[in-house]
């Protein structure tokens, strides 16, 4: 662990030097040990790096972190600002160094007047006559993996619960009951949301504060998962097909075992793009019911019915009645599936977002 911290600090200093070396009129000195202010004083940064920029002499107060999630960055900014106030030297400029700094964390630094450099090539340094800014557009695999765990099937049950009613203040016990997951799972998701500053902890519970940012991150990390995908053909069409679908969904426990998904769900929620096939999520019971009521046949012609078995039954639990007798995936799940369906799907997803999802975010508490 100690070696890992030392290696990270050394790599951070090397990255900072690489960025500074691009400025032709700059000379970089030897890192100094920051002065201490006693046990009760502010926490000192990792090092002070002397800089000669033309005729100006500066020292960069460098703080290295393994993670730079928004909530952690706010804490670092407060600590380093407190240290600079105690130091009282106007020619010391604070810099945060980390493996990856997201756009949200970068904005926190910018507003606080703190520079940053990460290992992915993102940086912003503004002091004296120096202005260096770069955005690489790269999100390291480690960061993506961390977010993917937030969007795992069990965690997704919690997210669907929060996104369904973003204006509600939730107690952890209530989320556990409604989402049908363990208290530990709820606590893990809660912590991740707070670290990203997508949610706020209140004395009476948890409230989603940035549903838009959460949905964006979920969309970018989303990998459609199903145990199996089966294609069928039915001779039914038009009103006859629509009526049989309603009957099948009713028999399937009003969507408990089968429901419309993707383009077929969007057709009832926010119609835009037509799709040649009816798409369903169904468990084993639901698939059998769909077979019977839609008179499904093995493919001898082009497919016009697609049935997918969801990895997690949370997708079926989060169903909504889009119209009398018509049960579909929830708004968040429909949005994700549409966006993953390609260009036409992305257009339909944005239409659904503007029409049905965005109005939920304006709910006041």
pLDDT at 226: 66
Does residue 365 have a pLDDT over 50? no
Q: What is the mean pLDDT of residues 268-279?
A: 88
Same-domain pairing of 231 and 319:
yes
Alpha-carbon distance of 342 to 345, in angstroms, equals 5
Same-domain pairing of 197 and 259:
no
| Residue 92 structural domain | 2-134
Does residue 19 have a pLDDT over 80? yes
Same-domain pairing of 58 and 158:
no
| Each residue's pLDDT tens digit, 164-193 | 988 899 999 999 999 999 999 999 999 999
Query: At CA 235, angle to CA 229 and CA 238, rounded to 5?
Result: 100
How far is it between the farthest Cα atoms of the chain? Answer: 83
CATH number for the domain spanning 193: value is 1.10.10.10
**Tokens 């419309």 sit on residue:** 260
Alpha-carbon distance of 100 to 26, in angstroms, equals 25
| Each residue's pLDDT tens digit, 103-151 | 889 999 999 999 999 998 899 999 998 999 998 776 665 455 556 678 9
Q: Which of 196, 221, 246 is the last residue of a domain?
A: 221
List the strands of the sheet with 56-64, edge to edge: 26-28, 47-53, 56-64, 92-98, 115-118, 123-127, 130-134
Same-domain pairing of 233 and 207:
no
């Amino acid at each position: 662990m100690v070696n890992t911290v030392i290696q990270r600090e050394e790599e951070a200093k090397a990255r900072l030097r690489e960025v500074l070396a691009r400025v032709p009129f700059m000379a970089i000195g030897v890192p100094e040990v920051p002065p201490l202010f006693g046990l009760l004083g502010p926490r000192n940064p990792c090092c002070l790096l002397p800089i000669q920029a033309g005729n100006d002499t500066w020292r960069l107060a460098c703080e290295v972190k393994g993670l730079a999630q928004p909530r952690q960055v706010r804490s670092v900014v407060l600590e380093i600002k407190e240290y600079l106030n105690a130091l009282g030297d106007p020619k010391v400029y604070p810099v945060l160094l980390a493996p990856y700094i997201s756009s949200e964390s970068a904005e926190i630094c910018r507003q606080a007047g703190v520079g940053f450099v990460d290992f992915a090539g993102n940086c912003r340094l503004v002091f004296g006559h120096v202005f260096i800014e770069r955005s690489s557009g790269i999100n390291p695999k480690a960061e993506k993996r961390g977010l993917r765990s937030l969007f795992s099937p069990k965690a997704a049950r919690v997210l669907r619960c929060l996104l369904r009613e973003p204006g509600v203040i939730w107690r952890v016990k209530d989320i556990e009951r409604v989402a049908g997951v363990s208290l530990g799972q709820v606590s893990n998701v809660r912590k991740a949301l707070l670290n990203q500053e997508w949610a706020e902890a209140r004395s009476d519970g948890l409230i989603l504060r940035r549903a838009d940012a959460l949905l964006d991150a979920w969309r970018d990390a989303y990998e459609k998962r199903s145990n199996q995908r089966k294609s069928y053909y039915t001779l039914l069409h038009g009103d006859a097909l629509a009526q049989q679908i309603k009957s099948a969904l009713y028999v399937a426990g009003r969507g408990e075992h089968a429901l419309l998904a993707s383009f077929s769900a969007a057709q009832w929620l926010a119609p835009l793009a037509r799709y040649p096939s009816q798409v369903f999520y169904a468990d084993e019971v639901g698939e059998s019911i769909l077979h019977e009521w839609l008179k499904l046949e093995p493919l001898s012609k082009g497919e016009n019915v697609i049935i997918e078995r969801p990895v997690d039954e949370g997708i079926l639990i989060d169903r909504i009645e889009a119209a009398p007798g018509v049960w579909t995936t929830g708004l968040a799940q429909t949005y994700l599936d549409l966006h993953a369906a390609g260009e036409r799907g992305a257009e339909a997803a944005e239409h659904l977002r503007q029409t049905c999802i965005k109005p939920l975010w304006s709910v006041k508490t």
